[in-house]
Structure 1
Amino acid sequence: MWPYVRPVRTRLFSAACVAIVASCLGLVIPLVLKWIVDGPVAERDPGGVWLGALVLLLLGFAEALLFGLRRWLVARPLAGVEASMRADLYRHLQRLPVAFHDRWASGQLLSRGTTDLMLLRMFLAFPLTFLLVNATTILVGFVILLGQEWTLGLVLMAPIVPLVILCWVFEARYAVVARQAQDQVGDLTTVVEESVLGIRIIKGFGRHRSQALAFRGLSEQLRGTELGKARLLAGIWALITTIPELAIGAALVLGTIQVADGGLSAGTLVAFLSTALALRWPVDSIGFLLAMSQEAATATDRFFEVMDAAEEPEAPAGVSGGVRGSGDAGGLRFEGVAFRYPDAPANAAPVLARIDLRVRPGETMALVGGTGSGKTTLTALVPRLHELTAGRITLDGEDIAAMPRERLRELVSVAFEEPTLFSASVGENVLMGAEGASAEELGRALDVAQAGFVKSLPHGAGTQVGEQGLSLSGGQRQRLALARAVVGQPRFLVLDDPLSALDVHTEALVEAALRRMLEDTTALVVAHRPSTVMLADRVALLSGGRIAAVGTHQELLRTNEEYAWLMSGGDAVAKAGPDSEEGAR
């Protein structure tokens, strides 16, 4: 954590020094008591007693003031440390490959960015400082005790070895349950998030009881783990409290005997016991501070598990890009493209194997294939949502692997079958496709997507759509996602079945507007229905991870049985209508 703490190290160090001075002031109080007992009290001097009382009052006030100053010194910088770590985590998450997000539950990431960072801030604010402060206080306190009466001081030092052993055992056990609890919080967060986002499914299928049982099961697991933590903490606290108390009791008995024998003054015994009692909190708090420190340690591990994940490479090793000089290099081209998911078994067949395909400049190519044939995966390779396993993809002859991602994603715009909207206005969601686009360009994109419904919304394009855009229908969300893809008038457009949720009349209007817009755009469109295929100049059939055939719609209908079979199913769906069971395919 040092890179985050370094900018505020001066204030943290100052706060620790202030806390040490404040704590050591507390150790002066027993010395003042010794002076009062052996001096004014023994000599029956009321004025001296009042003077001693005033000194004690001033010491207490100074101690409180210094502890307040320590808190002021650390509050603002530590909030900044937490904010900086959270910002870095969020920034890093945006740069991690899609494959990472496919593997990680969102609740685990949320808990790392919220609960875990809160634990780290609390550690920096309290345990980190007070482990140092209390250790210094105990050391100074024992020096004072040994200076007052070394024999009694040795009695109080006797518990040190067993306490160190107990703390070592406690920390090892507590680390396990602390990590388990934090992981279970992440799992519970995932369930809550999925239940909220999927509330329509839960209600629609009457699954609230089963979801509640699943949530209760995870809650009970977390409860059991937290109780395990509590038992460990209670045990260590009881032992840390009891063992020193026994030592103080033994020292009190021995000290009383020495006072009775005349070998020790009453004031010295009072000062000795007062110092020993002043050290109770620094000693008793060890278990609590170690527990917080261990939770912070596991939180740090969880935080850096994500931060250590490799970001998307700008240019994979061994890839060399550049623009070729031949005249047929324009447009979008796949050359020997192969892809296997990073977490796939070593003996598994690749999702895509030896894809060779060229989409000419200004041409619209429809991509057709059966379910699971790899169409969505192939389209995801163009904006480098996944990295190729082999081969290369070029845009106007330039290898996309050699392009900065920012430039690549300015050239290529995408619209997915499942439209994702954010908790923002309609306009803000659409303009994510072209930063700085004008209101005129926004209106044109909405027109292309046949999103005229926006005008009837309460605040037009300024209407907030809510989380995931669930306040809109599926067709409305899909049209806004399409508008987002075309608002920047990209040179290359990748559409993954963007019209699947539209009724036949709206689809026809969108297709007509898209056809005009696509005249100057090189486009790859995943299609399942003949009406979408008709947007394209040519069609590519993807089968078995390879391009099985390329041609016009009519050519493939005549020459390719698989394509004809796929399109006959699509015709049936079109005749059945978008609301039929077949239309949900």
Structure 2
Amino acid sequence: MTSGETDTDSTTSGTRLRTLLRLLPYVKPFRWYLIGSAGAVLAAMVCGLATPLVIKAVLDGPVAGRDPGSLGWLIALITALGVAEALLVWARRRLASAPGPRIEANLRADLYRHLQRLPVAFHDQWQSGQLLSRAVTDLSTLRRFIGFSAVFIVVNTTTILLGIGVLFVLDPWLGLITLACGVPLVLVSAHHETRYAVLARRSQDQAGDLATTVEESVLGIRVLKAFGRGPDIARRFAGQAAAWRRTELAKYKVLAALIAVIILLPELGLGLQLLVGALGIADGTMTVGTLVAAVTVAGYLRWPIDSIGWLLADANQSATACERYWEVRDAEVTITDPAEPADLPATGGELRFEGVRFTYPGAGAPVLDGVDLVVRPGETLALVGPTGSGKTTLTALVPRLADVTGGRVLVDGVDVRDARLADLRATVATAFEEPVLFSASVRENVALGSPGATDDDVWLALRVASAEDFVRALPWGLDTRIGEQGLSLSGGQRQRLALARAVVGRPRLLVLDDPLSALDVHTEAEVERALRRVLSGVSALVVAHRSSTVRLADRVAVLDGGRVTAVGTHAELLATDPGYRALMSALDSEQEGAVAS
């Protein structure tokens, strides 16, 4: 999923507010912190607004009456208000420091757990950079909003209303002037808020696209260097960065215009207040203390008024971040445990496909169209067929990486959709054509699917996969950390570790999607002989792209056009199926070419 799919503004202010309100369950446990923080800062601002009233009392009392003797308690009151304001600001910061990071951590943990539960089809449709930007950048934006902007939107609005009320008490005309300047301010802010929301969403999506490009170029650095495509990717990166820069500049232009209006209107109001005040003092309808207090209150309101613009902009950006977060969190988890799960038998190992159909979402023609196939207990069945025949898709249905759209997949007579996912994936182990290793130790990578595996179990699995010798030769053996994606190892070493990971839990059913493609012929035969010897009695479905692998299978199934067209032993199919002979001849030619190279 890319920014192009979401670069519209179909949301209203009400919709954005409802999006932000969906965070309330995360905020609720920390509500007293936030209420206390808002209360503290509001009380601090009340102290600030009370100070001009004391100043008025000083000017219109002791100063006007030339009575310095009564200044003492007024000065003490101003001092007390100042100390109280400082303490309340300190309390606000202390109270606000706890909720934001903890709410962010909870949101990120929930998002990560949800990503782990979403089907593979979801991850196939979304760019990893887009998911990364939502899990990192967007949640940081929400943390700042919850801990700061949300509090001050409420507090500053309340302070402005209180300040205008104070001005009306001091002099109705001075209050009307401030109110007259405030109404256009609200209208302008609302107008710029809509424009800013569009740019904020575009900017966040472009950041996700840029993160995807960086991630892909780092992971694929060998390919880029080998084909000399580094400059092309650099130009692509520069183009995306320039587009993001233009969006950010457009954001700042909108914000700059808003801030200019926010600064201009209060200045005009202050000028009018001074004019009206001076005329009032001249004709005796206003005291100097009243004018000074009014100007002081107006000055105190400058920050609350000036901040409204960027607080609203931050609220819009946070609403966009929240919307992007819920786009992922609302994605449906389609592969789940059944309401009443069935127990898988403790022994067995039969795998059966009955009328299996599968169509990818949005695709017209089915990839699998009525597959009937049985893998008997203890049998190794090789699955062969031309590219695009549905072999990998069929293997993905066994551990429920995807669910059939028709028919059934049965493990020991139990429909895989009726079994608990944990039980199913403990019974069925999978090794993929592209081995995925993590930035962790050899032990952690091999024992990934069997957390309770001992070192003896790990070494046995490595021995089965013919990986023991090279692991023992590593600097720290099982404790040696493998770099990102295992790129510090050869292709054959990575695939042998992935194979060891599949067999370490001693599964009853092994699904291998051609995991031996990077091994030389000698090592491949050695690994397969070890598998047959050590894992006797284990059922295995093996997608085979080498004739040597096919020959080690008990039976072979030919998959073509989404259907099983032939099943038999290697010798039987060679004798009776011309298509199979042609396929084997092509595989032999590819293998000979690989050996020659």
TM-score by length of 1: 0.95
CA 1:156 to 1:575, structure 2 compared with 1: closer, same or farther past 3 Å?
closer
Residue in structure 2 matched with residue 434 of structure 1 by the alignment = 450
- What is the letter of the counterpart of residue 570 of structure 1? L
CA 1:27 to 1:545, structure 2 compared with 1: closer, same or farther past 3 Å?
same
CA 1:294 to 1:468, structure 2 compared with 1: closer, same or farther past 3 Å?
same
**Aligned equivalents of 1:242, 1:2: Cα separation in 2:** 36
- Is contact 1:366–1:536 with CA below 8 Å preserved after alignment? yes
CA 1:322 to 1:435, structure 2 compared with 1: closer, same or farther past 3 Å?
closer
Shift of 1:563: 1.1
For residue 351 of structure 2, the aligned residue among 325, 332, 341 is 332
- What is the letter of the counterpart of residue 186 of structure 1? G
Q: Is the deviation greater in 161-170 or in 475-484?
A: 161-170
CA 1:542 to 1:241, structure 2 compared with 1: closer, same or farther past 3 Å?
same
- Is contact 2:337–2:421 with CA below 8 Å preserved after alignment? no
* Partner SS state of residue 100, structure 1: helix
- Is contact 1:184–1:218 with CA below 8 Å preserved after alignment? yes
* Partner SS state of residue 564, structure 1: helix
Residue in structure 1 matched with residue 160 of structure 2 by the alignment = 138
1:380 matched to 2:396? The reply is yes
- Is contact 1:363–1:537 with CA below 8 Å preserved after alignment? yes
**Aligned equivalents of 1:30, 1:270: Cα separation in 2:** 8
- Is contact 2:349–2:539 with CA below 8 Å preserved after alignment? no
1:306 matched to 2:331? The reply is no
Counterparts of residues 119-198 of structure 1 (less than 5 Å): 119-198=141-220
Residue in structure 1 matched with residue 503 of structure 2 by the alignment = 486
Counterparts of residues 528-547 of structure 1 (less than 5 Å): 528-547=545-564
Shift of 1:48: 5.0
Residue in structure 2 matched with residue 583 of structure 1 by the alignment = none
- Is contact 1:322–1:397 with CA below 8 Å preserved after alignment? no
- What is the letter of the counterpart of residue 565 of structure 1? A
Residue in structure 1 matched with residue 96 of structure 2 by the alignment = 74
Shift of 1:438: 1.1
For residue 462 of structure 1, the aligned residue among 468, 479, 501 is 479
Q: Is the deviation greater in 16-25 or in 571-580?
A: 571-580
Counterparts of residues 359-378 of structure 1 (less than 5 Å): 359-378=375-394
**Aligned equivalents of 1:16, 1:322: Cα separation in 2:** 54
**Aligned equivalents of 2:533, 2:493: Cα separation in 1:** 21
- Is contact 1:97–1:312 with CA below 8 Å preserved after alignment? yes
Percentage of pairs with the same residue: 56
**Aligned equivalents of 1:179, 1:574: Cα separation in 2:** 51
- Is contact 2:189–2:309 with CA below 8 Å preserved after alignment? yes
TM-score by length of 2: 0.93
* Partner SS state of residue 365, structure 2: coil
1:52-92 CA deviation, whole Å, 9 max, x = no partner? Answer: 44543432232122112111112122211000000000000
**Aligned equivalents of 1:472, 1:375: Cα separation in 2:** 28
Residue in structure 1 matched with residue 465 of structure 2 by the alignment = 449
Shift of 1:142: 1.2
- Is contact 1:504–1:577 with CA below 8 Å preserved after alignment? no
* Partner SS state of residue 365, structure 1: strand
- Unpaired runs of 5+ in structure 1? 581-585
Shift of 1:419: 0.0
Residue in structure 2 matched with residue 94 of structure 1 by the alignment = 116
**Aligned equivalents of 1:158, 1:384: Cα separation in 2:** 65
- What is the letter of the counterpart of residue 529 of structure 2? A
For residue 407 of structure 1, the aligned residue among 423, 434, 451 is 423
Residue in structure 2 matched with residue 107 of structure 1 by the alignment = 129
- What is the letter of the counterpart of residue 350 of structure 1? P
**Aligned equivalents of 1:477, 1:234: Cα separation in 2:** 54
Shift of 1:349: 1.4
- Is contact 2:338–2:419 with CA below 8 Å preserved after alignment? no
Shift of 1:50: 6.4
Q: Is the deviation greater in 495-504 or in 57-66?
A: 57-66
* Partner SS state of residue 97, structure 2: helix
- What is the letter of the counterpart of residue 362 of structure 2? D
Residue in structure 2 matched with residue 205 of structure 1 by the alignment = 227
- Is contact 2:349–2:508 with CA below 8 Å preserved after alignment? no
Q: Is the deviation greater in 105-114 or in 255-264?
A: 255-264
**Aligned equivalents of 2:349, 2:159: Cα separation in 1:** 75
Shift of 1:295: 0.3
CA 1:73 to 1:578, structure 2 compared with 1: closer, same or farther past 3 Å?
farther
- Is contact 2:338–2:420 with CA below 8 Å preserved after alignment? no
Counterparts of residues 546-557 of structure 1 (less than 5 Å): 546-557=563-574
Residue in structure 2 matched with residue 508 of structure 1 by the alignment = 525
Shift of 1:519: 1.8
- What is the letter of the counterpart of residue 92 of structure 2? R
For residue 29 of structure 1, the aligned residue among 33, 51, 62 is 51
**Aligned equivalents of 1:162, 1:405: Cα separation in 2:** 59
**Aligned equivalents of 2:291, 2:273: Cα separation in 1:** 10
Shift of 1:158: 0.8
1:10 matched to 2:27? The reply is no
1:465-515 CA deviation, whole Å, 9 max, x = no partner? Answer: 011111111110000000000000001100011110001121121111011
Shift of 1:440: 0.8
* Partner SS state of residue 243, structure 2: helix
**Aligned equivalents of 1:330, 1:273: Cα separation in 2:** 85
**Aligned equivalents of 2:32, 2:451: Cα separation in 1:** 41
- What is the letter of the counterpart of residue 505 of structure 1? H
1:216 matched to 2:238? The reply is yes
Shift of 1:46: 5.0
- What is the letter of the counterpart of residue 423 of structure 2? R
CA RMSD of aligned residues (A): 1.8
Counterparts of residues 239-318 of structure 1 (less than 5 Å): 239-314=261-336
- Is contact 2:335–2:402 with CA below 8 Å preserved after alignment? no
CA 1:550 to 1:162, structure 2 compared with 1: closer, same or farther past 3 Å?
same
Q: Is the deviation greater in 332-341 or in 155-164?
A: 155-164
Shift of 1:322: 8.1
Residue in structure 1 matched with residue 543 of structure 2 by the alignment = 526
- What is the letter of the counterpart of residue 472 of structure 1? L
**Aligned equivalents of 1:377, 1:254: Cα separation in 2:** 80
Shift of 1:579: 6.5
Shift of 1:578: 4.0
Counterparts of residues 388-407 of structure 1 (less than 5 Å): 388-407=404-423
- Is contact 1:321–1:401 with CA below 8 Å preserved after alignment? no
Shift of 1:577: 3.8
CA 1:570 to 1:134, structure 2 compared with 1: closer, same or farther past 3 Å?
same
- Is contact 2:429–2:510 with CA below 8 Å preserved after alignment? yes
- Is contact 2:344–2:423 with CA below 8 Å preserved after alignment? no
Shift of 1:111: 0.3
**Aligned equivalents of 2:63, 2:165: Cα separation in 1:** 26
- Is contact 2:341–2:418 with CA below 8 Å preserved after alignment? yes
* Partner SS state of residue 159, structure 1: helix
CA 1:307 to 1:278, structure 2 compared with 1: closer, same or farther past 3 Å?
same
Q: Is the deviation greater in 373-382 or in 67-76?
A: 67-76
**Aligned equivalents of 2:349, 2:313: Cα separation in 1:** 63
**Aligned equivalents of 1:579, 1:24: Cα separation in 2:** 85
1:353-410 CA deviation, whole Å, 9 max, x = no partner? Answer: 0000001111110000011111001000100101100000111101101011111101
